[in-house]
Amino acid sequence: MTSLLLEWLVKIAVVFAVLITSVAYLSYMERRVAGWIQIRVGPNRVGPFGLLQPLADGLKFIFKEDIIPIKANKLLYLAAPAAAIVPALMTFIVIPYGSEIVLFGKQIALHVTRINVGLLYLLGLASLSVYGIVLAGWSSNNKYSLMGGLRASAQMISYELSLGMAIIGVLVLSGSLDLVNIAQSQSGYWFGFLPRWNIFLQPVGFIIFYIAALAETNRVPFDLPEAEAELVAGYFTEYSSMKFAMFFMSEYLNLITSCSLAVTLYFGGWNGPGVNSHPWLSLVYFLVKVFLLIFLFMWIRFTLPRFRYDQLMWLGWKFLLPLAIVNVVVTSTVLLLAS
């Protein structure tokens, strides 16, 4: 029991360190991608190739003046950033980021913990993140912030339905809510060369999931809760210093979790050539797949304009949700006829 507890603590510490470092360098990556797409110079002054820019940004946030609006609800104002970042940090403990490796003579599973309802756990925590945003918008006593919080709540409720319905197709195929089982069910090949990934059986489900994930993480073209041109910065207009940084971090953490979940559900998780003989490759495959999906998130940001709010609601309720329901019905019917 002691060795198991120690293993959990080490895994949590390693995953936490990797996530925080990744969040810092995702901001660097996003600026470099913006520079590449828009044909301009990205960060290149601080350190070689600008690689120390995230460190400079972190120091800037730490030393910035921390201001609390006079008429803000101080308790909720201070609690909101924590309410946003804590669920974002908790989600990754059930994501399987590799198979099993041997380390120091011990078999180590590359996930922090495994529960048979891991997918429900993820969806539940994802739905909690909106509380931090809504509380931030209301407690700031700023009309722009309040509008951003209201937009966020309506947007997340709308697109969570489509996201949840899109996942049902994968659940029907795998017959499990355990993310490890879902990843393992995608091992092997069809016809000797085509990976048994769910993306080939659920392409419509993946497209719905990915669009809904864009909306859930408030990314362009769904960044209506922030909308600098309309709401200054939306729900975190009145935040500064490290409290602003916590909202910034939670957005990137949710981005990492969304792409990791998409890889697990639709792209075979850690599966790839040579995994059985070289288990370390499973971690490499998983990280590469997640990186590519994150890159696509950033590419979309600097390519598409922001939706109007009525367009956002129309897309969620009148297109994605009916399409997700049709996808579930068709998947269930095909499986029933094939059984």
pLDDT digits (tens, 9 = 90+) for 154-166: 888 889 999 999 9
Contact indicator for 225, 148 with CB cutoff of 8 Å: yes
1: pLDDT confidence band, cut at 50, 70 and 90?
low
What percentage of the chain has pLDDT greater than the value 90? 32
Q: Write down the residue that tokens 């850690």 correspond to.
A: 270
53: Cα within 13 Å, side-chain hemisphere: 17
Q: Write down the residue that tokens 């003579």 correspond to.
A: 105
Q: DSSP string covering 187-209, please?
A: -SEETTTEE--GGGT-HHHHHHH
> In 138-285, at which residue ranges do the beta strands (DSSP E only) sit?
189-190, 194-195
User: What is the spatial distance between Cα 172 and Cα 331, in angstroms, rounded to a whole number?
Assistant: 8
Q: Is residue 79 pLDDT above 70, yes or no?
A: yes
User: What is the spatial distance between Cα 67 and Cα 99, in angstroms, rounded to a whole number?
Assistant: 46
User: What is the spatial distance between Cα 298 and Cα 29, in angstroms, rounded to a whole number?
Assistant: 9
Residue 189, beta-bridge partner list: 195
Q: What is the pLDDT of residues 179-195, one digit of tens each?
A: 999 999 998 888 888 99
pTM of the model: 0.92
Residue 301 vs residue 103, higher pLDDT: 301
Residue 6 vs residue 295, higher pLDDT: 295
